[in-house]
């Protein structure tokens, strides 16, 4: 790897770990996220979530100050938990540590045990702790660690194998979650999707404020995940360590399928074939038609796309699946970048070696590095979150917003990426970006193409 010529990160291409954990807790029915650490971190996470999802977000905090930082935060945690149990009446509390509490060595597992054994009245509400220091990972690390903690804490029951599919979708949009549910229902599968923030973070209009919004994965269903017939977990980056899916598989002897995010025809095919295998019959006609329409669109739009160059940045699994998708439509992903550290390994699981040779990979990167490389590679398009806006603006190159976060447009939470339908939407947007550039830069202009 190239030696870095600077000592500090400048606008990191990642977010903080407790952010990811909080998102998981927002996707469990009746759950309240709680940050064991400084108040400012909870405020930052709330602000960041609200500007993407455009929904109210409550996150409790043990609000460690100077004395707790020196003498430990046990008392703050206990007082905070009692307080939110009274105020919110949650069905579960998800507690994530942060940089501060981890640096001073807080033992969240031990504190939870003590809290629950000290007073039986408080032991009825499940508490799920997750260690989430940002210096050990990214928001994706915090997300996946939280899913793993949830299943390890709540899934106890072995028993007769049910016709239940457990699906762990990773960090995808609310619309992606809704689409996954639609597909699973069309297949007639009895499933548990964990987490599911499709309603809690993209709900309907309320007349009165609700402290904990409706929706989320029911806790009773999570408890039954040990009796699943199969586990599907999306995200090839998860293969690097024990994940919720691999733990479930090992602990309860359940067939496990680790798949990439289904973006593009190749990866959507892989996803639908897995569902066919689990269910035991072919995909419904509706999806065959979606696939056929997508293939037809690929042919129609090929002349506008072939040979174009894209810079793709963001979370490892998102970047890998987007790179796989653009490669199959003739666009070269000249630069793939992420704040995560094993991007090359994740890309290699999806991308043909001949295409890999054409890709520059920037793992553990920040937006200054991405911009510097992009200046040299001269892409035709940037693909990623709204955090790439300034480099795209400076280079006068269009930005196709996708993934997370989208702070400068409406509807990031309703953006569909997955399956044939999500790919169709991405494909149409990408082709139209190139058509628009051509149209806008034409000396005469034209309305027919």
Residues contributing to the site for ligand SF4 (CB under 6 A): 16, 18, 41, 44, 98-99, 134
| 342 C-beta neighbours (distance < 10 Å), count | 16
Q: From the CB of 411, what's the least distance to ligand SF4, in Å?
A: 26
What dihedral angle (degrees, nearest 10) is formed by the CA atoms of 331, 333, 334, 335? 160
Q: By C-beta, is 44 or 434 nearer to ligand SF4?
A: 44
Q: What share of the chain is helix, strand, coil (3-state, %, to 5)?
A: 50, 15, 35
Q: Comparing C-alpha atoms, which of 24, 127, 28 is closest to residue 82?
A: 127
Q: By C-beta, is 98 or 413 nearer to ligand SF4?
A: 98
Q: If phi over 0 gives left and psi between -120 and 50 gives alpha, with beta otherwise, what is residue 228? A: beta
Q: From the CB of 138, what's the least distance to ligand SF4, in Å?
A: 10
Q: By C-beta, is 98 or 249 nearer to ligand SF4?
A: 98
Q: From the CB of 68, what's the least distance to ligand SF4, in Å?
A: 15
Q: By C-beta, is 18 or 226 nearer to ligand SF4?
A: 18
Q: From the CB of 18, what's the least distance to ligand SF4, in Å?
A: 5
Q: From the CB of 59, what's the least distance to ligand SF4, in Å?
A: 12
Closest CB to ligand SF4: residue number: 16
Q: By C-beta, is 108 or 430 nearer to ligand SF4?
A: 108
Q: By C-beta, is 9 or 107 nearer to ligand SF4?
A: 9
209 token code pair: 């404020």
Alpha carbon of residue 220 to chain centroid:
23
Distance CA 301, CA 78 (A): 59
Q: From the CB of 174, what's the least distance to ligand SF4, in Å?
A: 23
How many Cα atoms within 13 Å fall on the side-chain side of residue 224?
18
Q: From the CB of 15, what's the least distance to ligand SF4, in Å?
A: 8
Q: Give the residue carrying structure tokens 């034209």.
A: 446
Contact 60, 80 (CB under 8 A): yes
User: Residue 130: beta bridge partners?
Assistant: 96
Q: From the CB of 47, what's the least distance to ligand SF4, in Å?
A: 10
Q: From the CB of 40, what's the least distance to ligand SF4, in Å?
A: 7
Q: What are phi and psi of 221, to 5 degrees?
A: -70, -35
Q: From the CB of 129, what's the least distance to ligand SF4, in Å?
A: 15
Q: Comparing C-alpha atoms, which of 61, 31, 18 is closest to residue 125?
A: 31
Contact 44, 77 (CB under 8 A): no
Q: By C-beta, is 13 or 151 nearer to ligand SF4?
A: 13
Q: By C-beta, is 134 or 385 nearer to ligand SF4?
A: 134
DSSP state of 28: B
Q: By C-beta, is 171 or 427 nearer to ligand SF4?
A: 171
Q: By C-beta, is 76 or 134 nearer to ligand SF4?
A: 134
Q: By C-beta, is 41 or 347 nearer to ligand SF4?
A: 41
Q: From the CB of 19, what's the least distance to ligand SF4, in Å?
A: 7
């Amino acid at each position: 790897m190239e030696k870095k010529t600077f000592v500090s990160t400048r606008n990191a291409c990642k977010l903080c770990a407790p952010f990811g954990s909080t998102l998981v807790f927002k996707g469990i029915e009746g759950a309240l996220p709680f940050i064991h650490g400084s108040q400012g971190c909870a405020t930052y996470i709330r602000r960041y979530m609200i500007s993407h999802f455009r929904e109210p977000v409550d996150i409790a905090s043990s609000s460690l100050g100077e004395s707790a930082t020196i003498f430990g935060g046990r008392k703050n945690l206990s007082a905070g938990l009692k307080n939110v149990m009274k105020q919110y009446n949650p069905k579960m509390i998800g507690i994530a540590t942060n940089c501060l509490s981890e640096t001073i060595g807080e033992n969240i597992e031990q504190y939870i045990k003590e809290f629950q054994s000290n007073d039986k009245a408080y032991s009825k509400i499940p508490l799920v702790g997750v260690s989430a220091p940002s210096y050990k990972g990214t928001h994706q690390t915090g997300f996946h660690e939280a899913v793993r903690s949830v299943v390890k804490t709540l899934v106890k029951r072995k028993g007769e194998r049910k016709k239940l599919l457990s699906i762990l979708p990773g960090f995808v949009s609310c619309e992606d979650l809704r689409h996954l549910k639609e597909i699973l229902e069309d297949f007639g599968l009895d499933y548990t999707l964990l987490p599911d923030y499709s309603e809690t973070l993209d709900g309907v209009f309320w007349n009165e404020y609700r402290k904990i919004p409706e929706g989320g994965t029911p806790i009773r269903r999570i408890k039954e995940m040990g009796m699943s017939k199969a586990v599907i977990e999306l995200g090839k980056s998860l293969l690097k360590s024990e994940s919720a899916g691999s733990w479930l598989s090992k602990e309860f002897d359940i067939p496990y399928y680790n798949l990439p995010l289904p973006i593009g025809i190749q990866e959507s095919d892989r996803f639908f074939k897995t569902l066919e295998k689990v269910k035991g019959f072919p995909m419904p006609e509706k999806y065959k038609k979606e696939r056929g329409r997508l293939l037809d669109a690929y042919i129609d739009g090929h002349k506008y796309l072939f040979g174009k160059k894209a810079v793709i940045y963001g979370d490892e699994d998102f970047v890998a699946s987007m790179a796989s998708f653009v490669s199959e439509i003739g666009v070269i992903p000249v630069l793939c970048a992420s704040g995560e550290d094993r991007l090359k390994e994740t890309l290699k699981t999806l991308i043909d070696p001949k295409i890999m040779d054409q890709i520059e990979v920037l793992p553990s990167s920040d937006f200054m590095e991405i911009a510097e490389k992009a200046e040299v590679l001269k892409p035709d398009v940037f693909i990623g979150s709204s955090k790439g806006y300034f480099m795209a603006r400076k280079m006068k190159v269009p930005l196709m917003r996708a993934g997370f976060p989208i702070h400068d447009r409406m509807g990031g939470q309703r953006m569909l990426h997955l399956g044939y339908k999500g790919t169709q939407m991405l494909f149409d947007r990408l082709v139209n970006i190139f058509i628009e550039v051509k149209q806008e830069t034409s000396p005469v202009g034209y309305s027919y193409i």
